[in-house]
Structure 1
Amino acid sequence: MSTSQQRKIVLAAVIGNLLEFFDFTVYSYFALTIGREFFPAGDPVTSSLLAFAVFAVGFVMRPIGGFVLGRYADRAGRKPALTLTILLMAIGSVWIGLMPTYAQIGLAAPVSIVIARLVQGFAQGGEFGAATATLLEMGGATSRGFRASWQLASQGGAALLGSGLAASLAFLLPEATMHSWGWRIPFLLGVLIAPVGIYLRRHIREEPRTLKTTAKQHDPKRGLYLRNWFLMIFSIMGMSVSAYVMIYYMPTYCIQYLGLPSKMSMLAGVAASTISLVMCPIYGAWSDRLGRRKPLIIIGRILLIVLLYPAFWVMTHFLTLPVVLAALIVLMLCYTMGSAPSYALIPENFPKHLRAAYMSSAYAIAVSAFGGTAQLVAAWLIRVSGNKMAPAWYMIGCVAISLIAVSMFEETGGKALD
């Protein structure tokens, strides 16, 4: 397979992820506005908590989408599953972008937002497994780690695109305009990604499905695969919580608890997203040469555990944007080191005929239970404890558990796939 063909496959596989996390980013960055427009309450913190709760509601459908669409990808092929997921995500995005507010249609407004998030959640549940399997299986054996790392890098790219657009709108539009209709622009622009993604995914060439890969058969390693499925849930848990707090919740944290201007706080997400986009492919390529677990994954997660508390202490005691950005960049360097190679390590521990379903379902459960609720939990912990450091302790606990889980996977760097 030529280099240009591999590039097309990578782009086709990650473009759905791009749309998904672009939507996540803009929803997170405009959570305060969405809370006020769709969930009005006397207390602005309560409104934002309700908005974050609806953000988390979308994750309820993820496990269902993971099981249904992941199995569909294993049976019918990666291409039809990837085409369906991006179409459903686009429908949910335009739904949110055009929805009238609570003041215009009353209770129907928040109900409709919830339905849109459920549709997106179902699609997103099946996106991860099918896309990751495509990246892993199509291309040279010596660059699997590099290709798979683009799954996480695309999240950084989407977050960078979303945070950059949100920051630009915040600087260009008056605050009243932003609250009135400016926040809708990113949701509607994000839909433009869908036609490109559908076109690229329709032209993916994959191997014909064979009886061996589609038939239900006895496999003596089923117990091992089930064990790895559980390990994947806990391995993804810590890194998912870290990502959702550092990339998506940090602008809100800077505004509400550090007292930084909203326009400047958007830059925190831009910095975190840039590190993810740049460093993930680098760490992924290194894992092809050095191995997946050691030194990258384990060292990266240990460093993240060690540095989380000092970083949050510095941010809460030196309330300036340069300090916040420096601390966040250091944390993101550790996060990407511990995460990017795992996007190859974990799927390599599953066989092809089960890979998409196992990956989608486990990832959906982990992200739904922990990632989707991370912002809500972080805000709630601060509220009940009165301690701005509460998110750091929560992240430390989750990453520690994920470190134990990922260390139990078999090292697969340099080994033949399937």
Structure 2
Amino acid sequence: MPTTNNTDAAATVTVRSGSRKMMIAGTVIGNCLEFYDFTVYTYFAVIIGKLYFPSQDPTVSLMSSVATFAAGFITRPLGSLLLGLYADRRGRKAALSLTILLMAFGTGLIAITPTYDQIGVAAPILIVLARLLQGFSQGGEFGTATSTLLEAGDQKARGLRVSWQLATQGTGTILGAGLAALLSATLSREALDAWGWRLPFIFGVLIAPVGIYLRRNLHEDWVASATEGSATGILRELFTTHLRTQILITLTGMGGTVTVYLLNFMPIYAIKTFGLPMATSMLVGVSTGMVTMFAGPLAGATSDRLRSRKTLIFIGRGALLVGLLPAFLFINRTPSVSVILPITACLTFFYAFGSATSFTLMCESLPRAVRATGISIAYAVSVCVFGGTAQFVSVWLVRISGDPVAPAWYATACVAVSLLAVSLLKETGNKSLR
């Protein structure tokens, strides 16, 4: 093993071209499965609310269900801390294999848990536990996967490689929403409520071994000193030397995570507020996933050519800042799929355009020795505090204010704060990794 140091060369994964491609493939495929498993819950929140959180008030039942969705974010900070440290000390491969295994267990538990009518209060407890396990896994997934993509190659294509983190999130969304739409269109409502809703979760468990196999067969040859460092040393450096950066990248993620979970909430919003058919409204999720899958790499590659991350973040987030409120106003005045579909697709494009490059900026702002830990914690805190509660806050704001566009005001404020944080970070697109 070469002598360790903190230079860019020593912080890079030494792999052959073919092995590098396999590393990227294993990372993004596993990441797709992780986000599919975690987000598919959203598309069945209405049914899960009725089966596991029964109430005479349908809104209360729905709020309980989305609150359980938010519960999946409570354990994210803990997962980000423990799994991020594991990745920085023991290598990316070990951490990536563990995260997908934990996610599979959580998804499987949701798939087999009996309903409230069958086992009483134990049912919602098991669902909450499953979401907590999924959240713990997801807490370590983002930082480890994104750091792996950043480091698995040369400087010229860093933005493009990291953008696959976002693109595979879109792919996972397409799988989840597409399967939900298919089931809603082909099964009766009685069959969907009785057993059909479980099929997407079973599917997630069945395909998980593919991601586990790929990740366990990744090649890596870490030569960074962090693999031999202590957890205490990593945390000390992160929260002393890099504290300001850590705070800024946490706030940078705020606008994006609130926006994406608000857009993911649109199928529920459409069913509840406009009375649209469940199968039709799921097409919103498919369209946003497709836009994310293609817009992410486009933005990443563009940022590489410009050698600037912040420029594209300002474009993407700026468009959201001025477009969210008018979009929600128009949707509420003309509630139809033909209106919701293009508007959410447009908003998703600007979200993806800013987020793909913000992920790269966040990673490049921290050195290799603390990167996976720092990014995992920053992203998990941002998603936990703001993204994980976005759907619950949206339902609550509409309920107490009577204003159906209240969620747009909330999202706009979060985007504004994230833009301020980006402006305070240093440009990294033209710099070598530390």
Q: In 1, are the aligned partners of 2:43 and 2:282 still within 8 Å (CA)?
A: yes
Partner residue, 2:278: 262
Q: Where does residue 323 of structure 2 map in the other structure?
A: 307
Q: Partner amino acid for 1:233?
A: T
Question: Of 46, 55, 79, which residue of structure 1 is paired with 2:60?
Answer: 46
Deviation, 1:202, is 1.4
Q: Given residue 338 of structure 2, which amino acid in structure 1 is its aligned partner?
A: P
| Cα distance in 1 for residues equivalent to 2:146 and 2:280 | 34
Q: TM-score, normalised by structure 2?
A: 0.92
Structure 1 pair 285/211, CA: closer, same or farther in 2 (3 Å)? closer
1:213 Cα shift? 5.2
Q: Does the Cα contact within 8 Å between 1:13 and 1:201 map onto a contact in 2?
A: yes
In 2, Cα distance between the equivalents of 1:339 and 1:101? 38
Residues 321-377 of structure 1 show CA distances to partners (whole Å, capped at 9, x for unaligned) of 111111111111111111111111111111111000111111111111111111101
Per-residue displacement from partner, 1:218-262 (whole Å, max 9, x unpaired)?
99996452111111111111100000011x200011111123222
Matches within 5 A, 1:94-173: 94-173=108-187
What letter corresponds to residue 335 of structure 1 in structure 2?
A: Y
Q: CA contact under 8 A between 1:239 and 1:399: conserved in structure 2?
A: yes
Q: Tell me the alpha carbon deviations over residues 291-347 of structure 1, each in whole angstroms, 9 at most, x when there is no partner.
A: 333421111111111011111111111122111111111111111111111111111
Query: Retained in 2: the 8 A contact 1:292–1:342?
Result: no
Cα separation, 1, equivalents of 2:102 and 2:291? 29
Give 2:260's aligned amino acid.
A
Q: Which residue is 2:260 aligned to? A: 243
Give the superposition deviation at 1:212: 6.2
CA distance in 1 between partners of 2:226 and 2:201 (Å): 42
Name 2:376's counterpart in structure 1: 360
Distance of 2:280 and 2:145 partners within structure 1: 34
- Find the residue that maps to 2:388 and give its secondary structure: helix
> 1:115, 1:333 → 2: CA distance?
34
Where in structure 2 are the equivalents of 1:288-299 lying within 5 Å? 288-299=304-315
2:195 to 151, 168, 181: 181
Contact 1:213 1:352 in 2 (8 A): no
Q: Which region of structure 1 is more displaced relative to structure 2, 326-335 or 69-78?
A: 326-335
Q: Is the 8 A contact 2:308 2:430 kept in 1?
A: no
Residue 281 of structure 1, CA deviation: 0.6
The equivalent residue for 1:379 is 395
Partner of 2:243 in structure 1?
226
Partners of 1:392 and 1:50 lie apart in 2 by 22
Label 1:210 to 1:288 Cα distance change in 2 as closer, same or farther (>3 A): closer
Once the two structures are superposed, residues 107-137 of structure 1 have per-residue CA deviations (whole angstroms, 9 ceiling, x without a partner) of 1111111111111111111111111111011
How far, CA to CA, are the matches of 1:321 and 1:212 in structure 2?
A: 50
Cα separation, 2, equivalents of 1:122 and 1:220: 23
Q: 5+ unaligned residues in a row in structure 2: which ranges?
A: 1-14
C-alpha distance in structure 1 between counterparts of 2:381 and 2:242, whole Å: 16
The 1:43/1:127 distance shift into structure 2, 3 A limit, reads same
Counterpart Cα distance in 2 of 1:106 and 1:222 = 45
CA offset at residue 24 of structure 1?
3.1
CA displacement at 1:210 relative to structure 2: 5.0
User: Could you tell me which residue of structure 2 aligns to residue 66 of structure 1?
Assistant: 80
The Cα shift of 1:138 comes to 0.8
The code of the aligned residue for 1:87 comes to: L
Q: How does 1:335-350 map to 2 (within 5 A)?
A: 335-350=351-366
- Give me the whole-angstrom Cα distance separating, in 2, the residues matched to 1:254 and 1:317: 13
Q: Structure 1 residues 185, 212: closer, same or farther in 2, change over 3 A?
A: closer
Q: How many residues align?
A: 417
CA distance in 1, matches of 2:35, 2:21: 20
What is the Cα deviation at residue 416 of structure 1? 1.4
Counterpart amino acid of residue 176 in structure 2: G
Q: Distance in 2 between matches of 1:294 and 1:224?
A: 23
Supply the RMSD in Å over aligned alpha carbons.
Answer: 1.7
The change in CA–CA distance for 1:59 and 1:101 in structure 2 (over 3 A counts) is same
SS at match of 1:100: coil
The amino acid that maps onto 2:153 is G
Aligned equivalents of 1:198, 1:168: Cα separation in 2: 27
Instruction: From the superposition, tell whether residues 294 and 365 of structure 1 become closer, same or farther in structure 2 (CA, over 3 Å).
Output: closer
In the TM superposition, what whole-angstrom CA distance separates every residue of 1:162-186 from its partner, at most 9, and x where no partner exists?
Answer: 0000000000111110000000000
Q: Secondary structure of 1:125's partner?
A: helix
Q: Is the 8 A contact 2:38 2:134 kept in 1?
A: no
Q: 1:31 aligns with which of 45, 55, 67?
A: 45
User: Are 2:417 and 1:406 aligned?
Assistant: no
What is the TM-score with the length of structure 1 in the denominator? Answer: 0.96
Find the aligned partners of 1:226 and 1:293 in 2 and give their Cα distance.
21
Q: Is the 8 A contact 2:310 2:357 kept in 1?
A: no
Counterpart position of 1:271? 287
Q: How far 1:194 moved relative to its partner? A: 1.7
Amino acid at match of 1:387: D
Q: Counterpart in 2 of 1:388?
A: 404
